[in-house]
Amino acid sequence: MAAHTRGREAHVVVDLTFGDAGKGTITDFLARTRPVHTVIRFNGGAQAGHNVVAPDGRHHTFSQFGSATFIPGVRTHLSRYMILNPLSMLVEERALNALGVIDALERTSISAEALVITPFQRAANRLREISRGEGRHGSCGMGIGETQADSQLLGRAVVRAGDLRDLTTLRRKLGWLQVHKRGQMRDTIERCRSFPVAAEEIRQLEDVGIIDAYLEQLEPFVGRADVIPDYFLEGVLRRTGDVVFEGAQGVLIDEWRGFDPYTTWSTCTFKNAFDLLREYGYGGSIAKIGVVRAYASRHGPGPFVTEDADLGAAIPDLHNRMDDWQRNFRVGWFDAVSTRYAIAACEGVDSLAVTGFDRLRDIPEWKVCEAYETTQGRMEDIPLGPARDLSYQTALTGSLMKAKPVYRVSASAERFETRVDQHIVQIEAQIGVPVRIASFGPTADDKKVLRGTR
């Protein structure tokens, strides 16, 4: 890294859980309280669902635009690690227009190297998940993993943002990809052909007219999108002021460190952000912020040691519910064991942002899971295995599916404010990282910056 330059700071925001911890609302808060000029997306893609409520009550679930887009003048940059769905981005833009944000796309730049999800990759993703039946992995059904896998297997044959303005290249790639995915999915297509839910996905792979229809739908995006060479990010990072690197998904579903196979095809740690900062010689200071809820949550199947159905019934989530692809939204108590594991996978964090305290207001006694009981005995720390070893992660998943939580009461005072203080003290003691931001509701006004807690 270059020597630090005053007047610039990069806030790198990562979810230390299974996702849904509140990265969007923390990004919005940082941009309202710091001189932030750009939010940079550095992993994941069009499947993101970052809920933000503005101080005036407007609510939007940010997917591809940065979660500070409600704030006039704050820009979004989609880095080469972002997986783009142009049609979904147009839908999101229209939703923002209805809320009074009329320049979201004009304030957005996109790396020419960003991958683009095609209809064929989304269809293949959904067919794979449909074919798994009750053994579903919890995919979002957006084609993220399929596109990432294709990029590793097929190289430059996949569609990237830079291809969108070259109609000849784009049409050629789309035609080749449709044929390739149809052949690749032949057996799965036949297994799913009798399922009504699969009919539209099969049509996407078999109907040659899909390409012309898709190109026509793309025209409004292609004519307005600011697709730039990857190295233009260097100029963004040299501007005076702050940037927020807004992560997607969560470390516990990271492609290499998550609990396989209930994972994503995305690096959810700080790695991508730090690669970009290093590559383009960022000279400002850097803050590594880990986001967690005051309790725990998980969308879809997979290990969730602290799951508690009674707690889930007591604090139903307004924005996360059962859906056809990710399945159930699950709730449990704060898990210090998995949080310590996520921090180790990230090679450390500087501070925590803890969201959702308001949801626990009417719960008289709060808990923290400090260890697991496993078939091998008490486990206080999940061992970090060799890098990029999925066989290790799969075995780890098997053991965690059988683990039981060991709780300690973290808060039981009569006053809510005292329970919050008690819970923060216990989180800091268990995790060894200071809590710097506490959230007591959906807006930036509901956030507090804590000082001197450690």
The residues annotated with a catalytic role in the active site are 20, 50
CA angle 153, 158, 164 (to 5 degrees): 165
Strand partners, 378: 373
Helix (H) or strand (E) holding 284: none
Amino acid at 312: G
Q: Are 329 and 317 in contact (CB under 8 A)?
A: yes
Phi-psi label, residue 24: left if phi above 0, alpha if psi -120 to 50, beta otherwise = alpha
Cβ contact 441:358 at 8 Å: yes
Name the nearest CA neighbour of 80 among 109, 114, 122, 35.
Answer: 114
Q: Decide if 98 contacts 220 (C-beta within 8 A).
A: no
Q: How many CA atoms lie within 13 A of 137 on its CB side?
A: 22
Rounded-to-integer distance, Cα 239 and Cα 354, Å? 30
Closest CA to 82 of 116, 119, 122, 52: 116
Among the listed residues 341, 195, 211, the one whose alpha carbon sits nearest the alpha carbon of residue 269: 341
**Residue 258 burial (CB count, 10 A):** 25
